[in-house]
Amino acid sequence: MIMTVTKKQLVFVLFCLLLYPALLAKDISRDAIAEKLLSEDAKIRQEGKTALFSIAQKDLSGLEKYLNYKGSWIVRHDAVLALTTIPGTESSKLLLKTIFQDTDSTIVSIASHGLKGREKDVTLDELRKLLEMDNQSAIRAALRIVEKIPVDESILVPLSRALENKRWGIGVRADATLAVSKAEGIKTDIKIEIILNAMKKECENPTPEPNTPNKGRCTSLTDQMRSSYRAVILRMGRPTVPYLKERLKKEKGEFRKNIIITLGYLGDPNVYAEILKIATTDKNAWSRADAIETLGEIGNKDAIPLLKEALKDPFSIECGDVLAPPGYEEWNIRYPIRGAAFSSLVKLGVKVVSQRPRGTYKVIE
Amino acid sequence: MPANDDDDNDNGIPDKDEVGQVNGEDDLVAISLSILPVLNSGEGEVELKVLWGPATKVWKYPDKRELIIPSNDPCHSSDCERWPPNQLPPTLYVEGLYANIIGTQGLDLSYVLNQTGHLHTDFVMVTVFKLEITEPDENPVTDNNFTFNAAIPGVCNVTGRGTIGVLAMDPNLQWSISGISGSTLTSEPPDRKGPDITFTYTTLPSSWVGWKNLYLTHPAVSCMDYQLVEIFFSRDETNNPGGTNPNWYYYWSQTSASTGNHHYDVSKPNHLGYYSWGDTHFHICPLACGNNDMTGHDGIDTFAEICLHEKAHMDYFLSTWGTWANYWSKQPTEDKDEGVGDGLKDSEEPGMGYDPTKIGTPTNQYRKDNDFEDYATKAEFNWTEGSSDYADWANPGHRSNK
């Protein structure tokens, strides 16, 4: 009549074998391509990637499932890589959506990098959101966009934060500073204000040195950061002088010193006296070197005796990551103040020759 | 039969929790019902009853249309359904809901003949199982990450726990995992059976493949579960086959993060890297596995960026000056910045945006102190952060926390 229990058990086992592919799925939301991308076998993973690229080329909406895949970052990683290869506004928008929604920093970084060359696909609202991201790659993408599309003052607050954010690399902050100077649609006085405010904050609250500073660097992080802010003002050139002078009236301390040095580099003769003071008394040897260097730009020949004296300044530093071969180690020692004095003296028309060992100079009277 | 907790219609809901039709459903088990000889209506009643618990449902169709048991018929209890004998459906479909840890449950088909009151029954035993690796389960997300320790040779224990959902069957669970070339693989227990397993890899391989699948099977069901596990090396140890350099340098050098011909130099612990004028290689130093102050990146990204930085120095020097001896002789006339030179040829500096009279041009974006450093630092920014995370098997590293 009805099959016996034993026979049914056999049928059951056979049925189970038929179900085998379905049982492979541990996570209920895994699908065949995700399975391949998560395989331990590199060949199968490659098959999964190829399938994903094929989906991306045919139908971006089909790729979204993988961009949103919750089960594993690896699937989203491969999906966003596929997305970056697809040109067009639709894929740019999907990249932006990924940047704003994904919480994995690797995915956000790859998607942000994928925006390169797509700057014109980004709206001002999206740019603002990018600048507010807590991810350096997104910030760098935003900075590229700032330089490529017309912006307005609504981006100033997030852009200012990028300049000042001590969690970012100092190079990223330098890029942010440059982006401010290049931003179309923002007035020059506002640009200078942003950069000077960032410089002021850096002077008041210097970027801390790491526990083990890198000897490849010759200056402190805060000195580098200040010189990066200054560099952008110098690139903006002499139109910045009136703004700097106005600001100089109300500022004191380290920040004031930095404005003076900036004006010195711009050749402003009015700061000569204060430059001399920095050149001779400042406790920061790199500031003294900067001041000495600006004397050549200011062009006041009264400084020549001081500069000749500076050719013998004892300040030396062994740093950098390009090193002379054994037997020439003295080449690795730098005398920044002597070098700056040499440069300024030459600018002032004094004949000076450099001799070996490195850092030895002789004035030809 | 398996518990029906997959998602055949791909809507994010386990099929067992679905109400109504499930497109693509393929997990229900057909049962054939018949009475021989064929009887007429009025000659009694046939009843199908689920015994010993609610681990199953019975449906009229294989895609979960028309629920038969539990029944809504108010005339009898919900765990059964009744038909006149000539209306007995020839096939019904049983759905396993969840594994029953005590084992089986029954489906009882009874027929009561009106005239005699005689009872005929047939009975089938059903075991709903759920073969499952319960640990690691990626909750937290890093619980499937395992790391070789600092021992020499290094040891990595991969532990797993599983069940088939029926306690009495768990001792026969069978585990497997594939080997790592260059490592020996042992297990505890040695026969790899039972609910708990520890696989031990001993000795780090010469090239890293961190992906491994941990498989769980059971001889009674011929089905399988698996879990991806990820195997890492201890970043700062030196127990790689090279033997002297840290693991991060040894293995990252095999990834896309590595560019150029480089050597490791432990003697400069306060450097990220350096280039010696005239060499055809550059050096990577201990700080290169940590933070890069310039880009704000760390780990494998720093390593990649320092490779690019030092390679930029090397490529420029070799293509412009060739040898140290050549540079040494030409520096006084061709690289005169501040009288001592910065490594960049004076005639090329204006085109590169640098002042040939100064070691460090005041308008440099990254390194005011040195033009050659500014030039090499620009190369660091050609690196795409995160682009080698996929291949970063260091712990700590960029995928060890995922």
**Mean pLDDT for each consecutive 10-residue tract of chain B (402 residues)?**
86 87 92 84 83 83 93 80 89 89 78 76 87 94 96 97 93 96 97 98 94 94 90 97 95 98 96 96 97 96 98 98 97 95 97 96 95 97 94 97 91
In chain A, the residue whose alpha carbon lies closest to the alpha carbon of B314 is A322
CATH number of the structural domain spanning residue A343: 1.25.10.10
pLDDT digits (tens, 9 = 90+) for A20-50: 333 343 444 468 899 999 888 899 999 999 9
B111: distance to nearest CA of chain A, Å?
12
- Identify the domain boundary among A119, A145, A168: A119
Please indicate if any CB of chain B lies within 8 Å of the CB of A110.
yes
- The reply to whether B271 touches chain A by the CB within 8 Å rule is yes
Which chain A residues are Cβ-neighbours of B377 within 8 angstroms? 171
**CA angle (A309 as vertex; A303, A310 as ends), nearest 5:** 85
**Residue closest to A194 by CA, chosen among A220, A221, A166, A155:** A155
Per-residue pLDDT, A4: 39
CA–CA distance from B94 to each of A2, A54, B57 (Å)? 16, 39, 6
Tens-place pLDDT, residues A233-260: 999 999 999 999 999 999 999 999 999 9
Residue B5 to chain A, least CA–CA distance (Å): 7
Domain assignment of residue A6, yes or no? no
| pLDDT recorded at residue A7 | 45
Handedness of CA A243, A248, A250, A256 (dihedral sign): positive
Count of domains observed in chain A: 3
Q: From residue B167, give the alpha-carbon distance in Å to each of A98, A124, B129, B172.
A: 44, 61, 10, 10
Q: Which residue of A has its CA nearest to B309?
A: A321
Range A184-219 burial, b when 16+ CB lie within 10 A, else e: eebeeeebbbbbbbbbbebbeebbeeeeeebbbbbb
In terms of domains, do A153 and A190 share one? Answer: yes
The answer to whether residues A111 and A161 belong to one domain is no
Same domain, yes or no, for A84 and A40? yes
- Looking at chain B from residue 307 to 336, which residues have their Cβ under 8 Å from any Cβ of chain A? 309-310, 313, 317, 324, 328, 332, 336
Residue at A214 is within a domain: no
Q: Tell me: pLDDT of A9 over 80.
A: no
- First vs last C-alpha separation in chain B: 35
> Quick one: how many helices (H) and strands (E) in chain A?
20, 5
B91 at A interface, C-beta within 8 A: no
- In this prediction, the answer to ipTM > 0.85 reads yes
Residues A244 and A315 in one domain: no
Q: Can you tell me the mean pLDDT for A75-95? A: 96
**pLDDT at residue A64 greater than cutoff 70:** yes
pLDDT value of residue B348: 98
pLDDT of residue A30: 60
Within this chain, do residues A262 and A153 fall inside the same structural domain, yes or no?
yes
Interface contact B24, partner A, CB < 8 A: no
Query: For residue A353, what is the nearest residue in chain B, using CA coordinates?
Result: B339
Do A290 and A310 belong to one domain? yes
A165 and A38 belong to one structural domain: no
| Alpha-carbon span B34 to B88, nearest angstrom | 7
Contact between A106 and A77 (Cβ < 8 Å): yes
Q: How do residues A292-302 score in pLDDT, each as one tens digit?
A: 999 999 999 99
Do residues B35 and B42 lie in contact, with contact meaning Cβ atoms separated by under 8 Å? no
pLDDT at position A112 over 80 = yes
**Does residue A299 share a domain with residue A262?**
no
On whether residue A332 sits in a domain, the answer given is yes
Which range is least confidently modeled, A7-21, A320-334, B268-282? A7-21
Where is average pLDDT lowest: A109-118, A159-168, A305-314, B347-356? A159-168
The two tokens of residue A34 are 């995700």
Burial string for A84-112 (b: 16+ CB within 10 Å, else e) reads bebeeeebbbbbbebbeebebbbbbbbbb
Please check whether residue A1 lies inside any domain of the structure.
no
Domain residues for the domain of A302 are 273-320+327-365
Question: Are both A135 and A115 inside the same structural domain?
Answer: no
Kindly report, residue by residue over A187-218, the tens digit of the pLDDT.
999 999 999 999 999 999 999 999 888 988 99
Whether A12 is covered by a domain: the verdict is no
Written as six digits, the tokens of A33 are: 């391509």
Position A66 scores a pLDDT of 95
Contacts (Cβ under 8 Å, ≥6 apart) of B29 = A12, A15, B1, B93, B94, B95, B96
Residues in chain B: 402
Full set of structural domains in chain B with CATH:
15-126 (2.60.40), 132-234 (2.60.40.10), 257-386 (no CATH)
Using DSSP's 3-state secondary structure scheme, residue B149 falls into coil
Angle of helix A188-204 versus helix A241-250 axis, rounded to 10:
40
Are A252 and A294 in the same domain?
A: no
> Distances from the Cα of A289 to the Cαs of A42, A279, A359, in angstroms?
56, 7, 14
Q: Which residues lie across from B201 on neighbouring strands?
A: B156, B185
Q: Which of A119, A144, A172 is the last residue of a domain?
A: A119
pLDDT digits (tens, 9 = 90+) for B155-202: 999 999 999 998 889 999 999 999 999 999 999 999 999 999 999 999
Residues A45-71: b if buried by 16+ CB within 10 A, e if exposed: beebbebbbebbeeebeebbbbbebeb
| Interface probe, candidates A2, A66, A172, A288, chain B, greatest B C-beta count within 10 A | A2
Last residue of a domain, one of A86, A119, A152: A119
Amino acid at A127: L
Same domain flag for A233 and A286:
no
- Say if A226 falls within a structural domain: yes
- Compute the average pLDDT of residues A146-162: 91
**Maximum alpha-carbon separation in chain A:** 124
- Please give, rounded to a whole number of angstroms, the shortest distance from the CA of A361 to a CA of chain B: 8
Q: What's the confidence (pLDDT) of residue B50?
A: 86
Residues 6+ apart with CB under 8 A from B305: B292, B294, B295, B297, B380, B383
* Same domain membership, residue A280 and residue A164: no
* List of chain A residues whose C-beta atoms are within 8 Å of the C-beta of residue B269: 212
Residue of A nearest to B109 (CA): A2
Residue A259 has which token pair? Answer: 């404005």
Look at residue A298 and tell me if it is in a domain.
Answer: yes
3-state secondary structure at position B202: strand
Distance between CA atoms of residues B27 and A90, nearest Å: 39
pLDDT, residue A20, reads 39
Whether A212 maps to a domain, the answer reads no
